[in-house]
Structure 1
Amino acid sequence: MRFLGQLLAVVAAWAIGGTLATAVADQWTLQLVLGLAAAALALGTYAWVVRRTERRSPVDLPLTGAIRPLVRGTAGGMLLFVAVIGIIAALGAYRVEGWGSVTTALALLGLAAAASATEEVVFRGVLLRHLESRTGTWGALAVTSVLFGAVHLTNPAATAWGATAITIEAGLMLGAAYVATRSLWLPIGLHMGWNFAAAGIFGTEVSGNDTATGLLDGVTSGPTLLSGGAFGPEASIVAVTAGLVLTIVLMRVAHRRGHIVPLPRRADRRTADRVTTDQAAPTTLSS
Structure 2
Amino acid sequence: MSEIIPIDQEQHPLSRIFFGPFGLRAGWSLLIALILFLALMWGFSSALRITHLVPAHTVEHTPGPLSVFLSEATAFLAIAIVTVIMSRVEHRPLAVYGLGGSRKASRMLYGVVTGLIAISLLVFILLNSGLLIIDQRLLFGSEVARYLLLWIPGFLAIGLFEEYLFRGYLQYTLARGLSGVAPLLPGDPDPRTVGFWIAAVVVSFGFGAVHGSNPGESPAGLICAGAASLVFCFSLWRTGSLWWAIGLHAAWDYGQSVLFGVSDSGALFDHRLLQTHPVGAPLLSGGATGPEGSIFCLIPLLLLVAVIHLSQRRPEESYALQMPALSHQLETTAETLPPASTPTS
> What range describes the TM-score normalised by the shorter chain of this pair?
0.7 to 0.9
Q: Could you give the per-residue CA deviations for residues 131-161 of structure 1, whole angstroms, max 9, x where no partner exists?
A: 2231523212211111111111111112222
Conserved 8 A contact 1:47-1:61:
no
1:23 to 32, 55, 71: 55
1:130 to 173, 183, 186: 173
- Higher mean Cα deviation, 16-25 or 193-202? 16-25
In 2, Cα distance between equivalents of 1:6 and 1:243:
31
2:207 to 126, 131, 148: 148
Conserved 8 A contact 1:69-1:185:
yes
Corresponding position: 1:166 with 2:239: no
Alpha-carbon offset, residue 218 of structure 1: 2.3
In 2, Cα distance between equivalents of 1:63 and 1:198:
29
SS at match of 1:208: coil
Number of aligned positions between the proteins: 269
Query: 2:105 maps to which residue?
Result: 67
**Structure-2 change in CA distance of 1:138 and 1:44 (3 Å):** closer
Conserved 8 A contact 1:104-1:212:
no
Normalised to the residue count of structure 2, the TM-score between the two structures is: 0.66
In 1, Cα distance between equivalents of 2:157 and 2:70:
8
In 2, Cα distance between equivalents of 1:84 and 1:162:
14
Query: 1:277 maps to which residue?
Result: none
In 2, Cα distance between equivalents of 1:16 and 1:189:
28
Normalised to the residue count of structure 1, the TM-score between the two structures is: 0.78
Alpha-carbon offset, residue 12 of structure 1: 5.2
2:282 to 208, 213, 224: 224
In 2, Cα distance between equivalents of 1:235 and 1:18:
30
Q: Could you give the per-residue CA deviations for residues 75-94 of structure 1, whole angstroms, max 9, x where no partner exists?
A: 21111101111111111112
Alpha-carbon offset, residue 240 of structure 1: 1.8
SS at match of 2:168: helix
**Structure-2 change in CA distance of 1:188 and 1:10 (3 Å):** farther
Query: 1:53 maps to which residue?
Result: 89
Query: 1:96 maps to which residue?
Result: 134
Any gaps of 5 or more consecutive residues in structure 2? 1-27, 180-193, 321-325, 332-345
Alpha-carbon offset, residue 255 of structure 1: 7.8
**Structure-2 change in CA distance of 1:197 and 1:254 (3 Å):** closer
In 1, Cα distance between equivalents of 2:304 and 2:156:
21
Conserved 8 A contact 1:39-1:113:
no
Corresponding position: 1:205 with 2:237: no
1:245 to 303, 313, 331: 303
SS at match of 2:276: strand
- Higher mean Cα deviation, 137-146 or 190-199? 137-146
Percent of aligned pairs with the same residue? 27
Alpha-carbon offset, residue 27 of structure 1: 7.4
Query: 1:41 maps to which residue?
Result: 77
SS at match of 1:23: coil
Amino acid of the residue matched to residue 6 of structure 1? A
Alpha-carbon offset, residue 66 of structure 1: 2.5
Query: 2:163 maps to which residue?
Result: 120
Query: 1:182 maps to which residue?
Result: 240
Conserved 8 A contact 2:241-2:319:
no
Alpha-carbon offset, residue 63 of structure 1: 8.5
Q: Could you give the per-residue CA deviations for residues 50-75 of structure 1, whole angstroms, max 9, x where no partner exists?
A: 43323343212139742222222122
SS at match of 1:88: helix
Amino acid of the residue matched to residue 195 of structure 1? D
Conserved 8 A contact 2:209-2:222:
yes
Conserved 8 A contact 1:70-1:189:
yes
Conserved 8 A contact 1:10-1:121:
no
Alpha-carbon offset, residue 166 of structure 1: 1.1
In 1, Cα distance between equivalents of 2:241 and 2:202:
19
Conserved 8 A contact 1:94-1:218:
yes
Alpha-carbon offset, residue 244 of structure 1: 2.8
Q: Could you give the per-residue CA deviations for residues 220-272 of structure 1, whole angstroms, max 9, x where no partner exists?
A: 222222211111100111212221332355357778838475xxxxx957369
